[in-house]
Structure 1
């Protein structure tokens, strides 16, 4: 918006909303699927150590490095790749649904806002709403595979891999076993998505806020990369902290640990048993893992989209739309 327009009380910024096609959403899905499966699959060893720290009392006070050394010493290096199959497949479908869903719901909420100024004013609500709704539907796809992964990691010799583990869990416990962690996974993944998308959006906004339009247009590749990487790392830290308590409870639930009864009751009892310290067990390794995950996902996602400007607040005035 120019200074002349800003000085005019009734001036309104032109309202431009992209009209995405099915091909666009397919591109978003494939980009999200690729970036999530590559990053989550690559982080499998760290995730194995983190999960063991959460579910094995003897490892509760170990660091990422010492925990990894202990697993390798006792079970061999291959143990650090336990659960790679369900991790890769689970986040392939979840990542595609999450990123494509975020683009879809963000667009819907912007349209509901009705005009550019209102969309800018309520952008935080738009980010929160779009990330939450997108994550809800993505988690329907993720939950059975995440349950399989945690069972493989927490129970040695449970199965030989994705197919056998999934088949055993489905055969022995049915849908109730596959979706036992749906509520805690929502409690984990929705705060995770909020931290991932909302904090990333605002980090970009903060970086661009004091730049002139000329500077934005001539921003070098390394500078753009640095902003994206830094924003992703900070968003990853936020996502890890917000979702850590539910992540710990999810590991306990899928391990088969805890009382019987309704899921809210089980979560309440497990949280009381763990206490504040226990709920944040493994936070250090998870922050490292999540910072790498989130920053890597955004960088890969932008590369796959090949620079399409689709971030709602990539610039303060939302000109990216």
Structure 2
């Protein structure tokens, strides 16, 4: 079911670009055309699905320590314990991670490019140029709002599976069936509001900080982006993305902790507000920052890698890197 959902969303985009990719892009993609947004959407899948999946072992220990800070004394101890435990794996949750963040990446990057253009046209060229940051923030918030609707069911399965020992489900489909059997489809969306609270500030910070950082880097280097090679441009994208990722981790971490706790502790008949209040009463303000050092390292690297992959793909298909 999950695989069919992902295929139905990504195959039309892949098919549309296949001829151009096979022929090394003989025709230039017109900016802001349907092909342009299709390329950005596919670039988002490439940027987010593999990168989030690659850090599953780190994410697994982080989520478990957020739910129970005394479970492991360190990440290394956590991995050693997991490897020694029958039925457990350091790649627990990787399937839901890959599907969920591929769909989220498609929406986040594709809709961001669409809303950035749409909002710029709406306010006019002069206002858009004078208030670029406002456009970036509005576009990224709108994009993430929609992207999280696709992500949430798979994030719920991922977190539920990762924070239960032994793991709650053996596969994405198994997790989907178990949750919906008890709580219905609504059970897959019980973490949507906390997810929005985590992801929307995260993405607003990610895109606005990236765009501004890249602009400052080129100012420091003394030449416009067009005068650098594609390799140099993507190098700037990675650096700008890593810096943006550090800010992202700090801004979104309390909500990240809350998502993990709600997914594992919220009862079916409990409201989101009541669950948040109960959890905060247990862990306090300090508990909201469990695992922050690990998340800064993880998100910084993750964000830098995502911008590197995304802009590398854009350059490959003949489009300018982000920040042009």
Say which one has the larger Rg.
1
Change (3 A) 1:34 1:108: same
Q: Deviations over 1:229-281 (max 9, x none)?
A: 22111111111111111110100111134796321232233223222221010
Q: Could you tell me which residue of structure 2 aligns to residue 272 of structure 1?
A: 281
Q: Could you tell me which residue of structure 2 aligns to residue 10 of structure 1?
A: none
The whole-number CA distance in structure 2 between the counterparts of 1:23 and 1:230 is 28
Q: Deviations over 1:206-237 (max 9, x none)?
A: 11124444x64443555434322221111111
- Provide the secondary structure at the position in 1 that maps to 2:85: helix
1:171 aligns with 2:214: no
* Contact 1:259–1:269 (CA under 8 A) maintained in structure 2: no
Picking from 30, 35, 40, the partner of 2:52 is 40
Q: Could you tell me which residue of structure 2 aligns to residue 102 of structure 1?
A: 112
1:82 aligns with 2:106: no
TM-score normalised by structure 2 residue count: 0.84
Change (3 A) 1:79 1:159: same
Instruction: Figure out how many residues of one structure are paired with residues of the other and give that number.
Output: 292
Q: Could you tell me which residue of structure 2 aligns to residue 132 of structure 1?
A: 141
Q: Deviations over 1:98-157 (max 9, x none)?
A: 100100111111112212x32121111111111111000000011011000111111124
1:73 aligns with 2:84: yes
Q: Which runs of 5+ in 2 are unaligned?
A: 1-29
1:308 aligns with 2:319: yes
The whole-number CA distance in structure 2 between the counterparts of 1:184 and 1:46 is 21
* Contact 1:258–1:270 (CA under 8 A) maintained in structure 2: no
The whole-number CA distance in structure 1 between the counterparts of 2:38 and 2:206 is 21
* Contact 1:89–1:145 (CA under 8 A) maintained in structure 2: yes
Deviation at 1:192, TM superposition (A): 1.2
Deviation at 1:56, TM superposition (A): 2.1
Deviation at 1:75, TM superposition (A): 4.6
The whole-number CA distance in structure 2 between the counterparts of 1:221 and 1:25 is 20
Picking from 203, 227, 242, the partner of 1:233 is 242
Deviation at 1:282, TM superposition (A): 1.0
Q: Which runs of 5+ in 1 are unaligned?
A: 1-17, 315-319
The whole-number CA distance in structure 2 between the counterparts of 1:108 and 1:239 is 25
Show the 5 A alignment for 1:227-266: 227-257=236-266, 261-266=270-275
Change (3 A) 1:268 1:123: farther
- Provide the secondary structure at the position in 2 that maps to 1:297: helix
Change (3 A) 1:193 1:177: same
The whole-number CA distance in structure 1 between the counterparts of 2:179 and 2:83 is 26
TM-score normalised by structure 1 residue count: 0.85
The whole-number CA distance in structure 1 between the counterparts of 2:243 and 2:80 is 28
